[in-house]
């Protein structure tokens, strides 16, 4: 089913609350859930059956913490967490065995743990985990018969299992990234739809509501970078994913233009607010251009969400054709006699066309060449769309 058109406020609400997106969120986390369950179970089994520990709490806990990491450098941060947790547990055990538990003992344990962590490693994760490990020992798990060594070993077991699960049972390096690309492009499409509708009716209130909601959209942009970083590390660490390195490079290549699309859409929307509040107008052709850009952006969002390579091979060339056609229509003539705000709207529309062409696979130079030149000496020779190309 094709992605439906929604206003900005409705789109952002759908991302968080709709049944469809809740199901998609659960589906996207299924592998993490399976990883965590396997990692916790294997870590517990190793600590009990191989290491011979009776209550290896820190083994499954460390495994789940490691597997919950996201973003790039997961292996490095997993190692830091494992080191910090193991050292914190060991230090806490040794101290609490000597000084007992209480409010001042917490002061001593946390302070000494942070001092040792600062000496051992500059990483904040090591310091945090050493402090947390010491607090757990001082409050919930006072030293037992096993002493400090058993709990340190359990923490190392859990950390090692977590790292092995990341390497041997990798998540798809592309699904999360493509999902976030679809989200960001969907938001941008909704913003552009609102702009076109508001310019038609000269309704600045609707745009102001959309812009207020957009302030919360940065989280989706941040998740895009996180998902891409995770995918890049996954194909580096796991031999089972080495065949996906090219696809990850392609995903990384479009991060900047996807980010630029949403940024340029925000700028366009803010200028449209100024234009409508001043009771100025744009030409009907400008509104048509924005509507067409919104529709193309929504189609791209739908393609990235569906992740069907056959559909992409068929539909992206058609989207490129439509964008090239738009590029030949966004010359200065469509703002002739209009105010500065209308010219800014045109400039942002041109920028978004370039961004979308880059997402479709063009280089920036080729994408810029698609636009009607506004300079007597354009940096890139124009390659304008010709109606004869359709025949």
Give DSSP secondary structure letters for 144-168: -TTHHHHHHHHHHHHHHHHHHHHHH
Tokens at residue 5, please?
Answer: 């058109």
Question: Do residues 329 and 372 make contact, with C-beta atoms less than 8 angstroms apart?
Answer: yes
Residue 49's φ and ψ, nearest 5 degrees, are -80, -35
Tokens at residue 103, please?
Answer: 């409010």
Q: Which 8-state DSSP code applies to residue 3?
A: P
Q: Domains in the chain, please, with CATH?
A: 9-168 (no CATH), 173-390 (1.20.58.220)
User: Can you say how many angstroms the Cα of residue 388 is from the centroid of all Cα atoms in its chain?
Assistant: 41
Question: Do residues 258 and 228 make contact, with C-beta atoms less than 8 angstroms apart?
Answer: no
Q: Which of 125-134, 146-155, 374-383 is the least confident region?
A: 146-155
Tokens at residue 66, please?
Answer: 């490691």
Q: Is pLDDT of 163 > 70?
A: yes
Q: Is pLDDT of 244 > 70?
A: no
Q: Within 13 Å, how many C-alpha atoms sit on residue 2's CB side? A: 11
- pLDDT, the chain, mean: 80
Q: Which 8-state DSSP code applies to residue 380?
A: S
Q: Can you give the pLDDT at residue 1?
A: 46
Please report where in the chains the tokens 């952006």 appear, as a residue: 297
Q: Can you give the pLDDT at residue 145?
A: 47
For 269, residues 6+ apart whose C-beta sits below 8 A from its C-beta are 191, 194, 195, 207, 210, 211, 214
Q: Which helix (H) or strand (E) holds 132?
A: helix 124-139
pLDDT per residue as tens digits for the range 45-62: 999 999 888 878 878 888
Residue 73's φ and ψ, nearest 5 degrees, are 60, 35
Q: Is pLDDT of 30 > 50?
A: yes
For 128, residues 6+ apart whose C-beta sits below 8 A from its C-beta are 84
What are the Cα distances from residue 390, in Å, to 120, 148, 272, 322?
67, 76, 33, 11
**Would you place residue 352 in the very low, low, confident or very high pLDDT band (cuts 50, 70, 90)?**
very high
Q: Is pLDDT of 29 > 90?
A: no
Tokens at residue 158, please?
Answer: 């859990």
Q: Is pLDDT of 335 > 60?
A: yes
Dihedral, CA of residue 11, residue 13, residue 14 and residue 19, to nearest 10: -170
pLDDT per residue as tens digits for the range 276-328: 888 888 999 999 999 999 999 999 998 888 766 556 778 889 999 999 999 99
Sign of the torsion angle spanned by Cα atoms 190, 192, 197, 199: positive
Q: Is pLDDT of 357 > 50?
A: yes
Q: Within 13 Å, how many C-alpha atoms sit on residue 186's CB side? A: 26
Residue 173's φ and ψ, nearest 5 degrees, are -75, -10
Question: Do residues 182 and 301 make contact, with C-beta atoms less than 8 angstroms apart?
Answer: yes
Q: Can you give the pLDDT at residue 102?
A: 78
For 98, residues 6+ apart whose C-beta sits below 8 A from its C-beta are none
Radius of gyration for the alpha carbons in the chain, expressed in angstroms and rounded? 27
- Rounded to whole angstroms, the Cα distance separating 88 from 117 reads 9
């Amino acid at each position: 089913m094709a992605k439906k058109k929604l206003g900005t406020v409705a789109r952002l609400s759908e991302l968080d609350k709709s049944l469809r997106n809740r199901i998609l969120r659960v589906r996207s986390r299924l592998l993490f859930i399976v990883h965590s369950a396997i990692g916790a179970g294997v870590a517990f089994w190793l600590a009990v059956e191989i290491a011979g520990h009776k209550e290896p709490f820190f083994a499954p806990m460390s495994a789940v913490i490691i597997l919950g990491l996201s973003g790039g450098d997961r292996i490095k941060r997993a190692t830091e967490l494992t080191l910090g947790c193991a050292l914190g547990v060991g230090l806490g055990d040794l101290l609490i065995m000597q000084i007992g538990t209480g409010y001042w003992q917490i002061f001593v344990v946390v302070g000494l743990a942070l001092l040792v962590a600062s000496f051992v490693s500059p990483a904040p994760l090591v310091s945090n985990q050493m402090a947390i490990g010491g607090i757990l020992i001082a409050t919930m798990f006072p030293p037992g018969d096993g002493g400090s060594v058993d709990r340190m070993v359990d923490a190392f077991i859990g950390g090692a299992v977590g790292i092995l699960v990341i390497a041997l049972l990798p998540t798809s390096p592309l699904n999360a990234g493509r999902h976030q690309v679809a989200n960001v492009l969907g938001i941008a499409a909704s913003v552009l739809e609102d702009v076109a509708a508001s310019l038609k009716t000269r309704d600045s209130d609707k745009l102001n509501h959309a812009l207020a909601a957009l302030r919360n959209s940065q989280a989706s942009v941040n998740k895009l970078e996180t998902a891409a970083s995770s995918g890049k590390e996954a194909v580096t660490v796991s031999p089972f994913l080495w065949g996906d390195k090219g696809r990850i490079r392609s995903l990384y290549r479009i991060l900047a233009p996807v980010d630029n699309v949403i940024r340029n859409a925000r700028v366009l929307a803010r200028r449209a607010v100024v234009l409508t509040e001043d009771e100025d107008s744009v030409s009907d052709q400008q509104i048509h251009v924005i509507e067409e850009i919104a529709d193309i952006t929504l189609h791209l969002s739908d393609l990235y969400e569906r992740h069907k390579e056959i559909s992409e091979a068929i539909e992206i060339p058609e989207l490129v054709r439509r964008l090239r056609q738009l590029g030949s229509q966004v010359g200065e003539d469509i703002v002739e006699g209009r105010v500065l705000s209308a010219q800014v709207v045109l400039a942002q529309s041109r920028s978004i066309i370039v961004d979308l062409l880059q997402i479709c696979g063009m280089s920036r130079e080729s994408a810029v060449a698609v636009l009607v030149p506004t300079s007597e000496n354009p940096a890139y020779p124009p390659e304008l769309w010709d109606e004869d190309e359709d025949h």
